Amino acid sequence: MARTAAARIALVTCREVRDSGYDRDLPVLAAAVEQAGADVAVVCWDDPAVDWDGFDLAVIRSTWDYSWRAAEFVAWAERCGARTALANPADVVRWNTDKRYLGDLAAAGVPVVDTRYLAPGDPADLPADREYVVKPASGAGARYAARYTPEEHEAAVRHLERMHTEGLTAMVQPYVRSIDTAGERALQFFGGRFLHAIRKGAVLEPGTAYDEDKVPHPNLRPWEPTPVELAVAERALAAVPGEPDLLYARVDLVDGDDGAPRVMELELVEPNFFLFLHPASVPVVAEAVVKAADR
C-alpha cells in the first residue's frame, strides 16, 4: 500500500553538537531530506522526551559523545531499534562501537592495521622496537589517543593506567608512518554504493598528550580512491557479521609498510559524511534516507 503521508525521519545527534553547530552537515542534510519529501526532526539520542514510535526512521548522525557512554548508547540503540527502524541497526551499533571488531575483520581475511588489546588487569606489554599508538577500543575523535616512541614507555604506561582505571580496554597499534606522507583516506558508502571519499592528514602529532584536544580531521580534501582501495573497503563491508542492510558506512584506510591499503577503522555508527566537501552527494544521501524510511 502506498504511503499517504510524508515519512517522519529523525536525524539523531547529541546536545553538545546541537548546541555548538559543530556538525556543519546536519542542517544541510535536514533541509535536503525535507526537500526530498519527508518530515524531519533533529533530536538528541538521550532526550527522554523523544517519542521514537513517532518516526518511520531514525538515522544516527552526530552522536559524537557516545564513546564516553558506550554501554548507555548501545542500550539506547536497542530500545530505539525496537520502536522504529534504526540506521544503522542496533546489532551493528553493538558490534561497531567496540573496535575489537578489527579482530573479526582480520579473521575474515580483511587487511587491517595490526592491533593488540590490553584490558584492565593486563600487563603493559608495549613495543620496544618501534613507534606505536595507544587508544581506547571505544573512542572517537582521537579521544585518549597518543603516539609514543620506545623511549616514552613510562608516559605510555601512565596512559594505560588512566584508561584502565576508567574501565577502558586499550588498543596498541604500530604507528603507520605512511600517514605522515600519504595521509588517511575515508571512503563513504551510502545505500550500498560508493558515494565519495576524502583524504586527511596525520591526527597524532609527536609529543601530544593523550588527554589533550586534537583536530580529528586535519587538512581535509576530496579524494579519488584507487581500485585497490575500493576493493579493500568492499571486502571490509562484506565481512560485517550477519550481512546487515547498511544505510551508510565509512571505511578508513592507510598504507601499510608494504604500500598496500589496510583498514584503520570501519565506521558504521556515526561517521562524518564530509558532505561540505562533496555538495553533489547531498541529494543522493537525502533520497537514500527517504527511500529507507519508505520501506
Residue bearing cell 519527508: 38
Residues carrying an active site annotation? 221, 250, 267
> Nearest-CA neighbor of 274 among 195, 205, 214?
195
Residue 259 to residue 123: CA distance in whole angstroms: 32
Question: Does an H or E element contain 266, and which?
Answer: strand 261-267
Whole-angstrom distance, CA of residue 207 vs CA of residue 49: 44
Q: Specify whether the CB–CB gap between 39 and 9 falls below 8 A.
A: yes
Phi, psi for residue 7 in degrees, rounded to 5:
-60, 145
Q: Mention every residue, 6+ apart, whose C-beta is less than 8 A from residue 9.
A: 33, 38, 39, 40, 41, 55, 56, 57, 58, 59, 289, 290, 293
Exposure string over 7-35, b if 16+ CB within 10 A, otherwise e? bbbbbbbbeebbeeeebebbebbbebbee
Cβ atoms < 10 Å from Cβ of 178: 17
